[in-house]
Amino acid sequence: MTGPETALAAIWAGALLLWLAFLLFYDGIRRPLRGEEIEAFLATLGPRMAETGNDAGRLRAFLEADDGREFVMVNLVRTRPGLVTDPASGTAREGSEWLRRYSQPFVRGLIARGGHPLFVGRKVGGYIDAWNTPADPGWSLVGTMRYRSRRDLVRMAGDPAFRAVHPNKTLGIESTFSFPTQRQIGFYASPRVTVGLALALAAAFGHIAVLTFG
């Protein structure tokens, strides 16, 4: 092979290897949770689930049904209005500021594990269509978060750094509910496609540069 041909091969091979490395990070190794992992995680929760009105059995069922695939958590949030005082430190901040102090470290940890927000928006009106549901409690925000796997959810929840900022969540949120989903239809380019196209574009520019200046 000539010098330019070698350079072109290296450019496209490098782009392909980077994309495959990204896919390995983004999708992970799809291994369902083992029973001992679930038991160890649930043992660390103590009374926290019951104290917040949650059902540990429902969480257990979700983890035991793990298929190793990604999922999206849907979250509806009502932030606390006005100033909220931390009983531990005496610091007073707006409820939305407490929530921000929780959500920013949370999102960083999620991204480090191959997850990311899909959509976050503020509510701009009341229920337009509602059948046999309780009255709107005054939701403030809706967010959808992509998790690489249920194992990542377990690891995040057990991370001491995450637990350290969790009190900010309870200070900032008056009420919330979340439930996991898996996509059936989607009309957006996933990061798999976006990163692949970006790397292909960069390789194409490199290709052109080699042909022009090489």
95 forms bridges with which residues in the sheet? Answer: none
What gap in Å lies between CA 73 and CA 51, rounded to an integer?
Answer: 21
Domain range annotation of the chain: 1-29+190-214, 33-66, 70-181
What gap in Å lies between CA 197 and CA 211, rounded to an integer?
Answer: 21
Chain mean pLDDT for the chain: 93
Q: If residue 175 lies in a helix (H) or strand (E), which one and from where to where? A: strand 173-181
53: left (phi over 0), alpha (psi -120 to 50) or beta: left
What gap in Å lies between CA 30 and CA 124, rounded to an integer?
Answer: 38
pTM: 0.91
Give pLDDT tens digits for 11-37: 999 999 999 999 999 999 889 999 999
**Contact in structure between 12 and 208 (CB atoms under 8 Å):** no
Instruction: Report the CATH fold assignment for 70-181.
Output: Alpha-Beta Plaits (3.30.70)
